[in-house]
Amino acid sequence: MSLRYKVFGRTGLRVSSIALGTGNFGKGWGYGTDRDEAQQIYAAYRAAGGNFIDTADQYQFGQSEEMVGAFIQPERDSVVLATKFSLGNNPAAGLQGTGNSRRSLVQSVESSLRRLKTDRIDILWVHFPDGVTPIDEIARGLDDLVRSGKILYPGLSNFPAWRVATAVTLAEAHGWTPVSAVQLEYSLVERTAEREVLPMAEAFNLGAVTWSPLGGGLLTGKYRKGETGRAQGLGAVIHAESDARKTAILDEVLAIAQETGKPPGQIAIAWVLARGRLPLIGPRTLQQITDNLASATLVLTPEQVTRLTTASAFPLGYPHEVVATVAGPIAGGKAELLDYPARTVR
């Protein structure tokens, strides 16, 4: 099996259709993967044609970056390396080692470069907004690092659409390096990025990486079987089967898994791929990476995609639902005859 590749947003960067998240590389959090198995996971991903590696300074308190740096060193120029900053690389990072200030940005990048044993980071994500650092400080700080050659492409992770759009507009107005990409949670159980973040990314032609395509493990069906997974290791589950909608989604995933003879997790990732998204997988074991990668060759029928999309439907809310009521009048009563552009307007 070989993964396919896509051009990443408004860049000329070529990345594999599935990205490898390495949050489980290491055991600094008390839960994760030891070095030997992590290297096997990395090797399996590369053997399948994967070239997009995603880590963060905070993952396993720096152990993930250290492992990734060692694994990619013999083939550094063949992989697209992404890392993140905001949370610090250890619990004692303190006021000056966390957040999104220019000081924290520069300090974090210098530390990540040492752990990764490389002279550049291909994509640097601002991991989370800190609620205080102005977006112009973030955008200009990222531009400075691009000009210095320490990072190549800036990205924003878990940011609201309006802040990303502001960063893109400021960069265009001032001639700074543009924000190239966004990273966001997206799965059958978490589709609310379709309200604002994804349309914004499409309008600005930003690359979009979607994390947790398995809904924190919920969509594998393992919690119904009594397995604990990350609930035992990290003390939290991103999504639990806590309402009728999630139950209906999981029921449909399990039904299609039975029809196809494929594991439920593969169904969930295949749906994300069918939606044209780039999923970021985060396997903890060699078996998990094998299952995750197999989803790239699983083609759901249009009817199966529709069933999953219908089961996971959610209200878009205001203003989207109000705007939908005037689609006909605003097109002069000719909406059915009007050919609209494929890309979202900005």
Are the beta carbons of 219 and 265 closer than 8 angstroms?
yes
Residues 6+ apart with CB under 8 A from 113: 119, 120, 121, 150
The tokens of 240 are what? Answer: 């639990």
DSSP result, 296-319:
GG----HHHHHHHHHHT-----TT
Active site residue 318: no
DSSP result, 222-242:
GGGGT--THHHHTS--S--S-
> If phi over 0 gives left and psi between -120 and 50 gives alpha, with beta otherwise, what is residue 158?
left
Active-site entry in 59, 153, 186, 223: 59
Residue/partner pairs of 219-226 with CB below 8 Å, 24 or more apart: 219/187, 219/188, 219/189, 219/249, 219/250, 219/253, 219/264, 219/265, 219/267, 219/268, 220/263, 220/264, 220/265, 220/268, 221/250, 221/253, 221/254, 221/257, 221/264, 224/250
Are the beta carbons of 185 and 212 closer than 8 angstroms?
yes
151 residue type, one letter: I
Please give the C-alpha separations between residue 91 and each of 28, 62, 95, 246, 266, in angstroms, as whole numbers: 11, 11, 11, 34, 35
Residues 6+ apart with CB under 8 A from 290: 44
Whole-number Å distance between alpha carbons of 125 and 82:
7
Which residues form the catalytic set?
A: 59
